[in-house]
């Protein structure tokens, strides 16, 4: 079974590289190292390396691999970074980031999902990820400021506490828009303000309160 997964993973990573989604060698290495099958429900394991969103329960989804690749590349993660994720979901995105930065703090609104994500992260050996249940749009004040912030649910606007909790010079990736269609926004904090760049359409489950 492990062999079967590794061949599927190899093909998926080739596809992500060929399509230009994965570019940076250390990010490619993180994709090679993290076992995505640990983060999908049992009955979905066969699809763990399909490049599509997968249901993880409670109407929520684990993002398609190319979206994880795009967001991770745009976030420009560095070894010493402290990262906040809003929307732990399955924990997969946090696991990828955990290989690339010093520490990941991830907030999940749904307690059952937070619990599952924490378990999967432990199984995957990600010891530098802390998970908590809560409304991530408020950030995580105790650990602020963050070098990077990644929001993996769609928000109608950029929550002010997240901008406040981003370091000067820091980068935020966030899908902004309505329930069905959003635009991926990359914000860089300069002189206390977020300078925004648009990075194309995307579809995420909505941020709830
Ligand atoms: N990053 C995830 C995908 C997340 S799907 C992964 O790699 O699997 C979006 C998640 O955001 C869902 O689990 C949803 O419950 C959660 N969510 C929605 N609103 C939220 C909020 N205000 N704070 C934290 N999490 C939230």
| pLDDT > 70? residue 2 | no
Predicted pLDDT of residue 3:
76
Instruction: Pick left, alpha or beta for residue 75 (phi over 0 → left; psi -120 to 50 → alpha; otherwise beta).
Output: alpha
Give the binding-site residues of ligand 1, using a 6 Å CB cut-off: 60-63, 86-87, 89-90, 92-93, 107-110, 113, 135-137, 152-153, 205, 207-209
Please choose, from the candidates 88, 170, 69, the residue with its C-alpha nearest in 3D space to the C-alpha of residue 130. 88
Ligand 1 pocket: which of 39, 40, 44, 88 to mutate (most atoms within 8 A of CB):
88
pTM: 0.98
* Element containing residue 119 per DSSP (H, E): helix 111-123
Predicted pLDDT of residue 4:
79
Cα 87 to Cα 52, 103, 132, 205, distances in angstroms: 18, 16, 10, 10
Percentage of the chain with pLDDT > 70?
99
The single-letter DSSP state of residue 142 is G
Q: Which residues, at least 6 apart from 177, have a Cβ–Cβ distance to it below 8 Å? A: 154, 156, 183
pLDDT tens, position by position, 50-100 = 999 999 988 899 999 999 999 999 999 999 999 999 999 999 999 999 999
Interior/surface letters 186-198, b for 16+ CB within 10 angstroms, e for the rest: bbbbeeeebeeee
Domains of the chain from N-terminus onward: 2-202 (3.40.50.150)
- Distance separating alpha carbons of residues 68 and 98, to the nearest angstrom: 13
Cα 137 to Cα 4, 149, 198, distances in angstroms: 39, 11, 20
Helices (H), 25-103: 25-33, 65-75, 92-98
């Amino acid at each position: 079974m492990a062999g079967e997964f590794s061949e599927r993973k190899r093909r998926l990573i080739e596809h992500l590289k060929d399509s230009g989604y994965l570019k940076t060698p250390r990010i490619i290495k993180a994709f090679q190292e993290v076992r995505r099958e640990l983060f999908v429900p049992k009955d979905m394991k066969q699809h763990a390396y399909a490049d599509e969103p997968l249901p993880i329960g409670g109407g929520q989804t684990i993002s398609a691999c190319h979206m994880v690749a795009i967001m991770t590349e745009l976030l420009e993660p560095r070894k010493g970074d402290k990262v906040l994720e809003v929307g732990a979901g399955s924990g997969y995105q946090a696991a990828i980031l955990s290989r690339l930065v010093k520490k990941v703090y991830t907030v999940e609104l749904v307690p059952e999902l937070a619990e599952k994500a924490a378990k999967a992260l432990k199984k995957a050996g990600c010891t530098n990820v802390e998970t908590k249940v809560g409304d991530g749009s408020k950030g995580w004040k105790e650990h602020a400021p963050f070098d990077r912030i990644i929001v993996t649910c769609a928000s109608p606007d950029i929550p002010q506490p997240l901008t406040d909790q981003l370091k000067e010079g820091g980068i935020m990736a966030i899908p902004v828009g309505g329930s069905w269609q959003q635009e991926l926004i990359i914000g860089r904090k300069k002189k206390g303000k977020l300078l925004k760049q648009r990075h194309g359409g995307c579809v995420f489950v909505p941020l709830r309160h």
